Each structure stands twice: as C-alpha cells, then as structure tokens.
Amino acid sequence: MRHITQDGIDLIKRFEGFSSSVYICPAGYPTIGYGHLVRSGESFTEITETDAEELLRKDVESAERAVLRLVNVPLTDGQFDALVSFTFNLGSGAFQRSTLRRKVNRQAHSEVPEQLMRWVWAGGRKLNGLRKRRSAESILYRLQA
C-alpha cells in the first residue's frame, strides 16, 4: 500500500498541533498527540512527539486507503500527500462526494487548488486556520504536479 511521505506527515503535524497530554477537542472528544482521538480502552497520561507521530501514521492509514480507493489516476507524491491531508482532516465521505475528487479523476489538476480552497468553512464561518491548511495543501499539490 502507498503511504504518505514525510512532507505530508509534516504538513498534517503543523496544522493539527501537538499536545503531550489529553485535551478535549472542539468536537468534544478526548485527544492527544497530533489529533489522535483517544479510543475506548486506550489510556494516556503523556506522550512524546515521537510516539505521537507513530500514532499519526497509524491514524492516517484510513485516509490513505480512501484516497487510493477513490482516485483512479496516477498521482505524484505531492498530490497524494495533499489529498491524504485533506481526507484526514475532513473524512473520506467529504472527499468521496466532492467536486475536488471528480476534478482529480478527470486529471484537471490545475483546477484542484481552487477546489481545495472551497473547504475553509466550519460552523457557517470561514476559518483562517482552514484557509491556511487548504493553501498549504494546494501548494503541495501543485509543487509536484
């Protein structure tokens, strides 16, 4: 199976942020490390950045599988990484239903950054953090296109 590169992991880490201890995320879930949702049966008091990256790599596997399943054209590493970051952040359902995915599969790669930038809204508000993340994903997508 294809995996996200270190550049992709670094992008996700930058936008997820690191917490060595458990906190409650905006959605109300206990979270640790780089956005790892603490599951039933898991127990953490503190975590190192190295262990948090290991957890992130496991967590991102579902986004990798979704991109591999939903995209039927060849992708560069940058394109794959950008789409995995997007899918990790928003979920495979959002990616599956998106015009973004249709543009990728039509190989309309020049139109993908514009599609990424449509996904900057949460709770009816345009969020600066999401705008920055989508911009970084767009740059990564274009750099190696």
Active site residue 111: no
- CB distance 77 to 15 below 8 Å: no
Instruction: Give the span between the Cα atoms of 136 and 77, in whole angstroms.
Output: 15
Q: Which of 16, 53, 64, 137 is catalytic?
A: 16
- CB distance 52 to 18 below 8 Å: yes
The residues annotated with a catalytic role in the active site are: 16
